[in-house]
Amino acid sequence: MLQLRLQAWETYENTAAPLGRRGDLGTQRTLASFDFQTLNAFAPAEKDADLPEAVQQSLQASLVNERSGLIVQLNSTVVHTELSDELKQQGVILTDLDTAVREHADLVKEYFMTRCIPVASSKYTALHAAFWSGGFFLYIPKGVEIEKPLLAQVWVNEPQAAAFSHALVIAEEQSSVRFVQEYNSTVAGEEPSLLSDVVEIFARREARVEFSNLQDLGQNIWNITDKNAVFDNDASVTFVLADLGSKLTLETVGAGLQGNGVAGELVGVFFADHDQRFMIKTLSDHVGLSTNAETLVKGVLTDQSRVEFDGMIRIRPKAQQTASFLSAHGLLLSKQCRGEFIPGLEIAANEVSASHGATSGQIDEEQLFYLMVRGIARAEAERIIVQGFFEPVLQRIPVENLRIRLRRSIISRMSGAQESEADTWVDAQERWEIEGVDEHAVSLNGNPNDDEIKLAEY
């Protein structure tokens, strides 16, 4: 591991920072100018001490009510780990990556940043390989099915700290797991901190993995994240990604569909406000026969935010009988925000079904008018349309609590207040089904006419 760190540092120093292409929105150039030298690359925390109050409150209101295990990283140290006795007896391993290096060296040596996300994938993956600390190691033996989700949390609470969290998930043949990971921070002030994280998933034959990630970092945290999965025959992996926070996020998500008959799915949502910058890159890399992949990303931009989406479907020459779909959509709520959504296809086989599409634009004024003439204020009408925009994607998210959390976050960002889901989302859905008008509506010429317009109660 020491040799890997030294080689990774050499790769980092010898690799130029990516600057993007001419005419883009400048997210990669902004990251390239970030002063990494001002950060503390290792910010240890006391292991097995009482968790900070913010972490305890988050766990009480977490996305997972009933869970099989929990692991928490605070800055550079994993401070808490728990796993049910039943899973321990079945051979499941959930521990920090430092312990895994010592106690499961053969597995770490085989899988850590080798085939899934190689060290030299980018300048930033090399930086991560040189400085990783803490991190999670999950191993599921052959045939073990974990019904209740496993929860992992990464917290940054030190200013000018750099946390390098690494998640390594190995699901053996015919196993299944649902893994939920949250990124949070409690850093006050404007001094920047960094969270650099890498997620590597290995799904062996007929394994099923669901990986959900909620990023809700403060807007003084910079986030660089790389996630990828490697599939054996008939395996399936689902990524669910929600990006809500951070000052800048550079996110790269891939699916290496090497096995035959495998299925990969990516469902992503984002909400960008203030001066946030997101760059999301996805890749469905089809190598084996009869592979299937679907990528669906939707998000909302407001204020002066910037979002770049670069999605790619790559079908290799021998990847016949492939089915792949890519869709990305952005809804712009202000005149100052900018979104750029670029899907791509690289097809080298002839027996495939592949399609892609992307849209971005403002809310349709005719839709707003349709709602406002029924007595709904403009702000609420915008909220209803945004909810309808997100809902098809939210319904694809397998974790119910994550759906609820995202709905509440969307509402609070649009209304500026923390409201319950029952008072907002459900009410808006009922209003969408209104037939007729309410007491505030008037005819188009400004004169109410009860003979022409009949009021309906709802």
The DSSP result for 196-231, as a single string, is: EEEEEEEE-TT-EEEEEEEE---TTEEEEEEEEEEE
As a whole number, mean pLDDT of residues 420-436 equals: 46
For residue 230, report the phi and psi dihedrals to the nearest 5 degrees: -115, 130
Same domain, 387 and 338: no
Q: Which residue has tokens 């490697």? A: 230
pLDDT above 50 (res 295): yes
pLDDT above 50 (res 451): no
Q: Mean pLDDT in the chain?
A: 89
In this structure, are residues 239 and 211 in contact, taking their beta carbons and an 8 Å threshold? yes
Same domain, 346 and 371: no
So what's the pLDDT on residue 437?
A: 35
Lowest pLDDT segment from 53-62, 232-241, 436-445: 436-445
As a whole number, mean pLDDT of residues 145-150 equals: 94
Amino acid residing at 182: E
Number of domains in the chain: 2
pLDDT above 90 (res 22): no
Domain-ending residue, one of 362, 393, 428: 362
Name the pLDDT band for 59 (thresholds 50, 70, 90).
confident
Domain-ending residue, one of 301, 327, 362: 362
Same domain, 124 and 224: yes
pLDDT above 70 (res 441): no
Query: For residue 85, what are the contacts with CB-CB under 8 A and spacing of at least 6?
Result: none
Separation in Å, CA 368 to CA 259, 383, 413, 415, 426: 47, 10, 19, 17, 19
Same domain, 244 and 325: yes
Same domain, 304 and 178: yes
Lowest pLDDT segment from 104-108, 333-337, 398-402: 398-402
As a whole number, mean pLDDT of residues 132-157 equals: 95
Name the pLDDT band for 401 (thresholds 50, 70, 90).
confident
Tokens in use for 429?
Answer: 């859905």
Interstrand relation of 77-83 and 69-74 (parallel, antiparallel or unpaired): antiparallel
What domain range is 281 assigned to?
Answer: 2-362
Q: What is the pTM of this model?
A: 0.89
So what's the pLDDT on residue 424?
A: 54
The percentage of the chain sitting over the pLDDT mark of 90, rounded to a whole number, equals 74
So what's the pLDDT on residue 403?
A: 86
For residue 391, report the phi and psi dihedrals to the nearest 5 degrees: -55, -45
Tokens in use for 277?
Answer: 């910058």
Name the pLDDT band for 64 (thresholds 50, 70, 90).
low
Name the pLDDT band for 414 (thresholds 50, 70, 90).
confident
pLDDT digits (tens, 9 = 90+) for 352-396: 999 999 999 998 889 899 999 988 888 888 888 998 899 889 988
Same domain, 159 and 298: yes
Q: Which residue has tokens 């299937």? A: 292
Domain-ending residue, one of 362, 386, 403: 362
pLDDT above 50 (res 102): yes
Lowest pLDDT segment from 55-59, 98-102, 261-265, 339-343: 55-59
So what's the pLDDT on residue 445?
A: 40
Which residues on adjacent β-strands are paired with residue 353? 323
Q: Which residue has tokens 């005719």? A: 366
Q: How many CB atoms lie within 10 A of CB 382?
A: 19
As a whole number, mean pLDDT of residues 203-224 equals: 96
pLDDT above 50 (res 458): no
Q: Rounded CA gap, 69 and 196, in Å?
A: 23
pLDDT digits (tens, 9 = 90+) for 165-189: 999 999 999 999 999 999 999 988 8
In this structure, are residues 222 and 192 in contact, taking their beta carbons and an 8 Å threshold? yes
So what's the pLDDT on residue 457?
A: 40
DSSP 145: B
Same domain, 357 and 377: no
Lowest pLDDT segment from 19-23, 64-68, 232-236, 335-339: 64-68
Helix, coil or strand: residue 30: helix
pLDDT above 50 (res 253): yes
Same domain, 88 and 226: yes
Separation in Å, CA 67 to CA 71, 219, 241: 11, 29, 19
